[in-house]
Structure 1
Amino acid sequence: MPIRIPEQLPAQDVLLGENIFTMDSLRASHQDIRPLEVGILNLMPNKIETEVQLLRLLSNTPLQINVDLIRIDNQAPKNTPQSHMDAFYHEFSQVAHKKYDGLMVTGAPLAHLDYEQVKYWSNMQAIFDWAEKNVQSTLYLCWAAHAAMFHHYGVNRHLRAEKISGVFEHQVLDQHNELLRGFDPVFFAPHSRFGHIESAQYSGVDGLSVLAESSDAGAYIAASDDKRKVFVTGHPEYDPETLHEEFQRDTDAGLSPVVPVNYYPQDDPSQSPLVRWRSHGSLLFTNWLNYHVYQTTPYDLNSLSGSDSPSNED
């Protein structure tokens, strides 16, 4: 089944070129089913690139999905045309009355700021609290995962002197967990961050479990037992060239970045990246939509209020 996205969103042409089925609002209105309502709170500067990455992963499911793109505030984005924001994004105040089956919150380039120094931190706190009652399951990526841990549980990250950058080997810790269904016991995933929370800190929170981790990059996937919160500290959505573009950007800025680990053959940036994370990234999103969203969400979203709502599944 397709994902429903706004007409003329640039991501639509990219996805259609990859033979990914999307539909516009008119066609979706003729589908006699209850689609999933998914919000994407996009905090990344290059919003168009992030849209394509996330929508690509959401598309690999038999479920029909309605997507709302959400912005954190009305400030002009750094690397996205204002016309794009005006055409395709909702301010949070415009959707705060809605209830969602799923919400995705992206990372953000805010590594060296304390949370209270982030200009929209109060907005983030309001959204975190709103999601508790209005979203069946929320998937937090990278910076958002750390920010949510701090807000909900008081667990603060620490900043590493050297950035964790590269494609790291991970181990599945709970092979029977639905979120990891179909995963190989060992798999690869990209990371790009300074912030770090130890696996023991996740596990030390009552009701949270670490499901996959890396001996080098630490905890990768943690989730609440009630399936309402999923914390992913890496970037399964990244395109093949994303880490290279980050490395080149920081090099050009004179920051002397570390070469992303296990990314280039022989760690040689002149060679094309070795891509080995996309299948598991796709599977992670599919499992989240199926087991944490579709099979737990109420058919009538207006009844959503807690973790024991009746299932959407027949």
Structure 2
Amino acid sequence: MPLSTTGELVARAAAGRRAVAAFNIVTLEHIEAVVAGAENAGAPVVLQVSENAVKFRYGNLLPLARAAVAAAERAAVPVALHLDHVQSDALLRQAADAGFSSVMYDASRLPYAENLAATRSAADRAHARGLWIEAELGEVGGKAGRPALDAHAPGARTDPGEARSFVADSGVDALAVAIGSVHAMTTRTAALDHDLLKRLSCALDVPLVLHGSSGLPDGELTAAVTGGITKVNIGTALSIAMTGAIREFLAADPRAVDSRAYLGVGREAMAEAVTAIVRTLTPGAPA
């Protein structure tokens, strides 16, 4: 089917009091697994390419982006493309022409005033190219190996009043909020601040996004959606599924050398993980 836009998928999810799952992709196997898993669940999905993934691909956005577009256009469910955690202005400029309908511009590492100024400029440029733009206020720790912030550290949580002003002054279309999740968690033991999420949901009239969601158990994910989250980012969960399946395969057959064999089991494991997560975020999806 035609390529969908992130904005329309998020709006549709919000109207149904659901969340759309957004999975970070690194390889063609990731792309195929996310699409297959979403098709099995019968629900839409967002394919995300992070700036770090572009760096891994020798700094080239187009090869992975074109593969994602081709897979999305052949999918049996709506699929959109999102450029994630962008700090490079040069990369931001490539987004629209590469098939992306949205971008997350990440200046959250900066003090508030600098974050706002950089995000306002990015939002103006994104909107001029027809891109839906997400930003982050507060800091979801764990990105690029950085430790999670202490819950009481300045900037570790998104302040509702500050968030209201930030959204109004920056012009962004969605806001990623820091409410207790952490990037790159390999155990599902994180707990969210649901009272803070409730206050943020009441304070803001743009969609709320949850980063670092791989570390959350199903109950926390469900509660996050009930509390107002409408886009949920997942990356590490796919890495865990793929790596675990490949490790098991190679341990059982140490002489195996055909990459299709072990990449195939890794792809299948990721697809199963995608289906499970999508069903958690989309009540009523086919069992």
Q: Same fold (TM over 0.5)?
A: no
TM-score scaled by length of structure 2: 0.35
State the structure with bigger RCO (CA 8 A, min sep 6), 1 or 2: 2
Which one has a larger percent helix, Structure 1 or Structure 2? 2
TM-score scaled by length of structure 1: 0.33
Which one has a larger percent strand, Structure 1 or Structure 2? 1
